[in-house]
Structure 1
């Protein structure tokens, strides 16, 4: 590994990188605002836009060098258009973030080979018949390679970067600084809530044996499914820092974005069914609806990968959320307030107006509860996410002072990130009509729904 390729693991070194960047940008923004006092409104806006873009670009540069938890934050931002930069610069900024998401970090195969052979305690050619040293994909904490087993099967081998565990844990120490830097260009973000969520799950993501177990669980659930594939895990070859699974190939997210409307809409429905269906039908789901974690296979099925961020939801928690959705759909505002209060989502019921709660229900989750076709776009997703984080919102402005029960936090992440992915795909469907299959047991209205119903009934 060259000097430039090393993953910085020391807290002081990593903290100084982020701290210098945050301090510099804070000073520049203060200077810009001070200068704006004497500028015209148009010139002031132009100056702030320029500074905002510079800050966002430097976030990309900083996150791209870190390869730990910070890179995961960058990946999250790469498909969540949360108004980080002015609209006229957004396309260029998204392209830079996409490069961060998709580019394999420059960690030499020589170093990665040491990790593999260290985990197996034997030479790589004793474990695999062939092993391509060029990575086919990069995860936030590792790289994926294609290999062939001695029995002729092709497999995907996911390997952790050397030293990444120490690097990620150093990132955890510095997470507050990173999130404050992000907040400087996206005031609606809640650094505390985001930081707590990331810290809660990051140790689990470092344990590939746990991830392999998560993947085996979903592979078993979706075995034989008509349009969802979770690659099978080779348990005997998986280790704490190496996961070996069935190799699949197909079209990635960027290619899928270029497909005709009908094909994109079908892909969008599959993505929606996989993430929401896993949560509400099976009470266990991937918490990382990331564009790089799905692939369109040649036979039209969608494969889903990467189960490091994983949540098992108690049945009563899932039922609480489904009842919340039913009450909102039925416009029962007072009952909705009572339900939110009993579940610990709000306190002081008299502070909330039934009409206002129902209106906000529509604003925030109406996209998958209204019984009508809704076109999802990056702009739509941005509007929902900014509304939810806007302290001026009469409902969420109060909710910001409440503490969302931990069991419900990951589900809100799934909702938001799935919306972001579907928005990037620019897909249209009656999402509420689909969701009613698990909200109230309604019969399916789409062809995919009928295929899935046959699968669950065992008649496929």
Structure 2
């Protein structure tokens, strides 16, 4: 048996053991089924132990488990503080670190992808990885150029067998819904897993990622607020890009100043809403490990493996319906949502009740300035996730059209990061500039 199958078997065994440990704790702790609000049914001790085990195992894995863990980690701000605190540090590690590949394996992949003379392309190459991506790891190096010093670069190398690992891990993770509901009731992981599975093929192709990054780089060339590193070289499993020197958002979340957190949040919002108009693409992986605050104040953006292709920019109905909701036009809002497929034509839903359901979510763009906080996000998660609340009951009647699924996930992920940053910014004015259909509010 080769090393790769052995690691796959070990990974599957670790994932498979998670539900057993959770079941044991549930039986020993309460002996009843986990339903409704966690605070009503499940003890804090069971929640804490489940979370610790879950993220400990995810943090040891590559492939789909690490990828899913990173995607989930942006929602940490929505968890109750007494539950989130014990493993917030483990979540942050998921965004920046993973067990490294041996140097010999790294060299083999480089030789296969860049040629046997791959070393001649570099002035320097550090065998120790500088960071871990979702399906690969990043090495710091100096690319050989005409300039004597060369060009500092990041070399992203895909894990051997990453495709098989992604599929196997995602299949295992689909069985863990009960564990995630224990940590955050109302969090439905099935759509997230399905969407992640659909994008596996794209994200495994580093040449496709290079094409997306080149489009972003061109769109933001010379920009005073957003920096996208240029692509130096690419192959199906190796991507070489300009090195980005800056402070990771995970560090700013933990110890950044208020000014740094506010600036990072504002620039993330600018990127989110301007990229579809400027590049025809939406950066679709908004976890803190993919962003850096540069010394000159710009937001450095990396990892373009996951993008949404929006050649016409953000869909105009989003901005128009947000504007109508803020104006209090309940009938126009429900008519627009029916037209877009969010509300079924046959469902009898009260227009004003639907507007009352939507408006709290739009608070960040109803004001001239808004500060996202963990408390605000937790309150919304509780409102929407409590089976006893009117919002929960109404939400069950709403549909998410497939064409909006990725935009929805990216928006939720971005809100999670903004709430971790607790960033204050004029979000409404950003939408007024970049979101089609969102006219200035009187």
Q: TM-score w.r.t. structure 1 length?
A: 0.85
Cα deviation code 1:50-69 (max 9, x no counterpart): 11111111101221232111
Quote how far apart the aligned CAs of 1:117 are. 1.1
Of 14, 17, 20 in structure 2, the residue corresponding to residue 17 of structure 1 is 14
Quote how far apart the aligned CAs of 1:393 are. 4.6
Cα deviation code 1:27-53 (max 9, x no counterpart): 4213422389xxxxxxx9897111111
Are 2:265 and 1:271 equivalent residues in the alignment? no
Distance (Å, rounded) in 2 between the aligned partners of 1:35 and 1:191: 22
**Aligned-partner SS, 1:132:** strand
**Closer/same/farther in 2, CA of residues 316 and 163 from structure 1, 3 Å limit:** closer
Cα deviation code 1:131-164 (max 9, x no counterpart): 1112111111111111112211221111111222
Q: Tell me which moved more, 250-259 or 294-303.
A: 250-259
What runs of 5+ residues in structure 1 fail to find an aligned partner?
A: 37-43, 445-460
**Closer/same/farther in 2, CA of residues 274 and 362 from structure 1, 3 Å limit:** same
Are 2:97 and 1:103 equivalent residues in the alignment? yes
Of 206, 218, 221 in structure 2, the residue corresponding to residue 220 of structure 1 is 218
Quote how far apart the aligned CAs of 1:22 are. 0.4
Contact 2:291 2:301 in 1 (8 A): yes
Contact 1:82 1:386 in 2 (8 A): no
**Closer/same/farther in 2, CA of residues 379 and 109 from structure 1, 3 Å limit:** farther
Are 2:350 and 1:356 equivalent residues in the alignment? no
Of 39, 60, 64 in structure 2, the residue corresponding to residue 69 of structure 1 is 64
Quote how far apart the aligned CAs of 1:390 are. 4.2
Quote how far apart the aligned CAs of 1:409 are. 0.9
**Aligned-partner SS, 2:157:** strand
Q: Cα RMSD (Å) of the superposition?
A: 2.7
Distance (Å, rounded) in 2 between the aligned partners of 1:190 and 1:82: 16
Contact 1:341 1:347 in 2 (8 A): yes
**Closer/same/farther in 2, CA of residues 180 and 114 from structure 1, 3 Å limit:** farther
Trace 1:16-95 onto structure 2 (pairs within 5 A): 16-34=13-31, 48-81=43-76, 87-95=81-89
Contact 1:227 1:301 in 2 (8 A): yes
Distance (Å, rounded) in 1 between the aligned partners of 2:392 and 2:78: 19
**Closer/same/farther in 2, CA of residues 31 and 146 from structure 1, 3 Å limit:** same
Distance (Å, rounded) in 1 between the aligned partners of 2:40 and 2:130: 43
Partner of 1:433: 429
Partner of 1:167: 165
Are 2:235 and 1:239 equivalent residues in the alignment? yes
What runs of 5+ residues in structure 2 fail to find an aligned partner?
A: 34-38
Distance (Å, rounded) in 2 between the aligned partners of 1:276 and 1:419: 13
Partner of 1:421: 417
| Higher RCO (C-alpha under 8 Å, 6+ residues apart) | 2
Q: TM-score w.r.t. structure 2 length?
A: 0.89
Of 393, 401, 413 in structure 2, the residue corresponding to residue 397 of structure 1 is 393
Quote how far apart the aligned CAs of 1:21 are. 1.8
Distance (Å, rounded) in 2 between the aligned partners of 1:337 and 1:47: 37
Contact 1:82 1:186 in 2 (8 A): no
Quote how far apart the aligned CAs of 1:383 are. 2.6
Distance (Å, rounded) in 2 between the aligned partners of 1:436 and 1:370: 11
Quote how far apart the aligned CAs of 1:17 are. 2.9
Residue correspondences, number: 429
Distance (Å, rounded) in 1 between the aligned partners of 2:258 and 2:290: 21
Q: Tell me which moved more, 178-187 or 121-130.
A: 178-187
**Aligned-partner SS, 1:288:** coil
**Aligned-partner SS, 2:60:** helix
Partner of 1:453: none
Trace 1:106-125 onto structure 2 (pairs within 5 A): 106-125=100-119
Partner of 2:194: 196
Cα deviation code 1:212-232 (max 9, x no counterpart): 111111111111111101111
Quote how far apart the aligned CAs of 1:97 are. 1.6
Partner of 2:307: 310
Cα deviation code 1:353-398 (max 9, x no counterpart): 222222222222332x203322111222233344344444535534
**Closer/same/farther in 2, CA of residues 229 and 176 from structure 1, 3 Å limit:** same
Partner of 2:286: 289
Quote how far apart the aligned CAs of 1:276 are. 2.2
Partner of 2:155: 157
**Closer/same/farther in 2, CA of residues 112 and 370 from structure 1, 3 Å limit:** same
Partner of 1:448: none
**Aligned-partner SS, 1:135:** strand
Distance (Å, rounded) in 1 between the aligned partners of 2:341 and 2:292: 38
Partner of 1:387: 383
